[in-house]
Amino acid sequence: MKPIFNFLFLMAGLSVLAAGCKKEKALTPSPEKENVYGDYTLPQGNHPYDADILQLFQKYNTMFLYKYVAKDLYYQVKYYTNGIYDPVKDSTTASGYFDVPANEAYVGQQLALLKDLWLKYYPDALMKAGLPKKIFLLDSFYYAYAGPGKPTDNWPTPQDTYQGPDFFALTWGGPRITSITAAERYAYKSTLNSVFLSTAFSKGAIKRSSAFTVLTNYTGLTYANFQQEGVIDWYRRSPDADWDAFMSTIVSNTYTQLTATGGVLNPAIDTKGIIKKKYDIVIAYFKATFGVDLQAIGNAQ
């Protein structure tokens, strides 16, 4: 019986091999539109500004979304989660963040504002390398505490922007944009540019200059001497955090403010002139590397 068993085993093996060698069907593309970054596709509507959003995606590989899923917005939100409002009880039953999606009638104006205060300042290559994958366009975004009534009744703390692990949440996509003040524009511009520069730095699109770092002995800092040693923020006194602090400070202040009484470039604070040297290095780095004048951003009203 043994020879018959071996013969049957051989025949079974040849059958499997023949099946494996059978010619596969040619691959054909799926007729459905491929989703980009999960469930999102562009355009999201048929507004005139949808073409603008599509152009931004083609330039930066980043999606500007005015329709979004809440779970994506609150994914890995630092320290807090989204709050809960119970309309039946008319009570904010859990503290946390609350979002108001952009009003589609104002998204075009919101995009124009973002271009004017932020996007126009940087070359496409830096934007593409430094932006997150998604930008959620909101009317407003704020933190509120638990208590009776709506979240807006419970000590809301509004934020112009929020920086998530792979997204920005940007506000002003609502009727209040039509009456934005000069001070509000400047504050929004400062935050937009600071958040972007910090993100681009963390992604490696911006590099810290070694010439900047060697000017400060970071291991010998105390609360009494950190400014004279060239650090402008006690809470950001590591080399990377220090570079980040300089970028955000420059785009958030005019040169007049920086050099005035109380400004970090004023001799009363910069007693050794180290802050000015580091400031000059940051300014020179951005001009040489990207053709960007950070102080021009800070000066713009």
* Tokens standing for residue 33: 């539109």
In contact, 263 and 269? CB cutoff 8 Å? yes
What are residue 252's phi and psi, to 5 degrees? Answer: -105, 5
* Residue with the two structure tokens 């596969």: 24
Please name every residue paired with 64 in a beta bridge, in sequence order, or none if there are none: 135
The per-residue pLDDT for range 29-82, each reduced to its tens digit, is 444 444 556 578 888 999 999 999 999 999 999 999 999 987 777 765 555 567
* Tokens standing for residue 166: 């792979």
Please name every residue paired with 50 in a beta bridge, in sequence order, or none if there are none: none
The pTM of the full predicted model, rounded to 2 decimals, is 0.84
Rounded Cα gap, residues 112 and 182, in angstroms: 16
Sequential DSSP letters for 211-270: HHHTTS-GGG--TTTTTTTT-S-TT--SHHHHHHHHHHHHHTS-HHHHHSTTSTTSTTT-
Q: What is the pLDDT along the chain (301 residues), one digit of tens a residue?
A: 444 444 444 444 444 444 444 444 554 444 444 455 657 888 899 999 999 999 999 999 999 999 998 777 776 555 556 788 899 999 999 888 899 999 999 999 999 999 999 999 999 999 999 999 999 999 999 999 999 999 999 998 999 999 887 899 999 999 999 999 999 999 999 999 999 999 999 999 999 999 999 999 999 999 999 999 999 999 999 999 999 999 999 999 999 999 999 999 999 999 999 999 999 999 999 999 999 999 999 999 9
* Residue with the two structure tokens 């060697």: 214
> Residues near 32 by Cβ (< 8 Å), separated by ≥ 6?
none
Q: Where are the domains of the chain?
A: 49-181, 210-299
Rounded Cα gap, residues 81 and 74, in angstroms: 6
In contact, 297 and 121? CB cutoff 8 Å? yes
The per-residue pLDDT for range 228-257, each reduced to its tens digit, is 999 999 999 999 999 999 999 999 999 999
